Amino acid sequence: MATAATTAHPAPRGTCPFAPPPAYQQARRDTPVTRVTLWDGTPCWLVTRHQEARALLADPRFSADAARPGFPFLSAAARHIGAGKTSFIRMDDPEHGRLRRMLTGDFTIRRTAALRPAVQQAADDLFDAMTTGRATADLVAEFALPLPSLVICLLLGVPYQDHEFFQRCSRTLLRRDSPIAEVVAAQDELTAYLDALTERKRTEPDDAILSRLAARGELPTEDIGAMGRLLLIAGHETTANMTALSVLALLRHPEQLAHLRAHPEATPAAVEELLRWLSIVQTGVTRVATEDAEIGGVLIRAGEGVICQINTANRDERRYPDGDALDLTRDTRQHLAFGFGVHQCLGQPLARLELEIALDTLLRRLPGLRLAVPFEEVRFRHEMTVYGVESLPVAW
Amino acid sequence: MNVPVPERNPVIVHVDPDRCCGAGQCVLAAPEVFDQHEEDGTVLLLDPRPPAALAREVADAATACPGGAIRLEEGTPR
C-alpha cells in the first residue's frame, strides 16, 4: 500500500444529500476494496461493492467482536462504547447465536404480523394528535420518532414516559463527534436505567421481553441490560430516521410519489427500494479479519479492520442497474440495508411493518403532504451513525 | 396420459437450523416452503420437495438466507 494517499472515513457527502460520498462512489467504480484512514489515523479497508460486501459479511473469518485487536472503531465514542459491556451485535458465534436466539422468537414474521393492529393504532393516534386543527408539524418529532419508540417500549417493557431520557442518551451515543465525557455519561445512565428496570422485572414481572429474559434465569442483569440497550436504540433510531428520510425522498421525487399514491398495495416494495436507496447506516458495518482472507482480489491480513460501506454497495450498478435512481418498481432483492450474515438485523420484520404503516398512513390521510420549508433548509444528520434529518417541517 | 413437464428440475431443500439466525428471509421469499419455529424463530422446513412452480421463490430464499442455512440439491421430477 505504498501508493496513493488514502481517503478519510467517513468522507463527506456531495451536493446530493441522499447520495453516498462521491469519493466512495468513485472508489466502487475503480476497485472492490480500497484503503481509508479512520479518525485516529488507523488504516482500514473499505469494501464498496455489493458482491464483495455480501461475501464478507457472511464470512466467519471476519469477526464482529469489538474486543479483538485491530477492530476498527469509527469514532472515539464508538471506541468507548466498544470497550464497555456490549451485546451480541459485537460478538461472534457461538455466544452471539446463544444470546440472539433468546430474542428471535419475538421477531418472527408471524409474531411481527400480529403486531400490525397495535402499530396501526399507535400510528393513527400520533397522526390525529399531529394533524387535528393544525396545518403544519415537524414530522420527526411528532410522528417518525414517537412511533417506533412507542412500539419498542411496548415490546421491551420500557415505560414510554421515559422516552425523552433514552432518546437523548441514544443521540449522544450515535453522534460521532460527541465529547467523550458525554458518551461516558450517556452510556452509564442508560446502562444504570436498564439494569434497574431489569431488576424490577424480577420482582414485578410482565409479558414483555426484558421480563421474560429475566425470568429465564440464565443471564446476569448486566447482560439483559446490554441487550435492552441494543434493542432500545436500534429499535427507535433506525426506523425513525428511515421514516422521515423516506417521506423527504418521496417529496423530492414526485413521479415516484405519484406511483405510490396510485398503487398503495405496492408500499412493501416501495419500502424495500427506499431501504436500498437511502441505506441509512451511513458509516457502514465494521469487522476485523481473524485470519488472512482474500476479498475482491485483495489480501486482508489477520488483525486488519474492514468497513462494509453499505450505501455504496446498495447502489452498485453490477447488482442494481442505474443504482443511483430511486425506482419503486425495481428488483431490490439482496439489498444490504439490514446487513447480511448471522448479524443481519434481528428487528427487520418490525422495521418493515412500521415503515409500511407509517408511509401508508401519511400518504393515505394527507393527499396534500408537502415540505413546509425550502429543501435547502432541511438539516441532515451528517454526524450520526444513522443518517436522517434533524427535523422535517411539513404541511398538508 | 398427458404428463405436465415441470418448468425446471425440482429441487430438494435441506436446512441447517444450527446455522439459522432467525432473520425470516426464507419465510418472506417462500412461505409455502419455510416457516419459523415459534420459540426461537429458527427455520422449519414445510416442504422438502417443493413443486417446480416455486423454484424461483425457493432459490430466492436460499440466496437471501444470511446464515447460509438453506442448501438446494437438484432433484428429479416427482
Instruction: Give dist(CA A213, CA A225) in Å, integer.
Output: 10
Residue A229 grid coordinates? 440497550
Residue of A nearest to B27 (CA): A109
Confidence band for A331, pLDDT divided at 50, 70 and 90:
very high
Q: What is the pLDDT of residue A46?
A: 98
Position B3 scores a pLDDT of 58
Q: Provide CB contacts within 8 A for A1, sequence distance 6+.
A: A35, A43
Task: Provide mean pLDDT across the span B49-58.
Answer: 94
Q: Spelled out in words, what is the top-level CATH class assigned to the domain B20-74?
A: alpha beta
Residue A280 has pLDDT above 70, yes or no: yes
A302 is a domain residue: yes
In this complex, do B27 and A109 lie within 8 Å of one another by their Cβ atoms?
Answer: yes
Mean pLDDT of the A143-155 span: 98
pLDDT at B15 exceeding the cut of 70? yes
Instruction: Find the closest chain A residue to B63 by CA distance.
Output: A334
Domain range annotation of chain B = 20-74
Residues of A in contact with B44 (CB under 8 A): none
* Other residues' Cβ atoms within 10 Å of the Cβ of residue B7: 12
Residue A322 lies in a domain: yes
Non-local (6+) Cβ contacts of B10 within 8 A are: B49, B50, B51, B52, B55, B75, B76, B77, B78
Average pLDDT over residues A75-91: 88
Maximal C-alpha separation, chain B: 47
The model scores a pTM over 0.90: yes
How far A109 CA lies from chain B's nearest CA (Å)? 6
Instruction: Please state, rounded to an integer, the average pLDDT across all residues of chain A.
Output: 96
Domain harbouring A281, CATH code? 1.10.630.10
Determine, yes or no, domain membership for A234. yes
pLDDT of residue A148: 98
pLDDT digits (tens, 9 = 90+) for A209-235: 999 999 999 999 999 999 999 999 999
Q: For residue B39, give the nearest of A105, A107, A346 by CB distance.
A: A105
Determine, yes or no, domain membership for A1: no
Is A344 touching B (CB cutoff 8 A)? yes
From CA A61, how far away is CA A63, in angstroms rounded?
6
Q: Does the residue A2 lie in any domain?
A: no
Segment 43-72 of chain A within 8 Å of chain B by CB: 57-58
Give A-chain residues touching B62 at CB under 8 angstroms. Answer: none
Tally of domains in chain A: 1
Phi-psi region of A70 (alpha: psi -120 to 50; beta: other; left: phi over 0): left
Strand locations in B1-78 (E): 11-15, 34-36, 43-45, 70-74
Mean pLDDT, range B49-62, rounded to an integer: 95
- Report the length, in residues, of chain B: 78
pLDDT at A237 over 80: yes
- ipTM tops the 0.85 cut: yes
Q: Which residue of B has its CA nearest to A96?
A: B21
Is residue A91 pLDDT above 70, yes or no?
Answer: yes
For chain B, positions 3-62, list CB contacts with chain A under 8 A: 19, 21-25, 27-28, 31, 35-42, 60
Cα–Cα distance measured from residue A44 to residue A31, given in angstroms and rounded to the nearest whole number: 15
pLDDT above 90 covers what percent of chain A? 95
Q: How far is B66 from chain A (nearest CA, A)?
A: 4
Q: What is the mean pLDDT of residues B15-31?
A: 96
Min Cα separation B29/chain A (Å): 10
Split at pLDDT 50, 70, 90, the class of B9 is: low
What is the extent of the structural domain holding A370? 7-395
Q: Quick check: B41 and A107 CB within 8 A?
A: yes
Across the interface, whether the CB atoms of A108 and B24 are under 8 A apart is answered yes
Residue B4 pLDDT > 70, yes or no?
no
| Partner-chain contact B22 A107, CB within 8 Å | yes
Q: Which of residues 114 through 143 in chain A touch B, CB cutoff 8 A? A: none
Q: What band does A387 get if pLDDT is binned at 50, 70 and 90?
A: very high
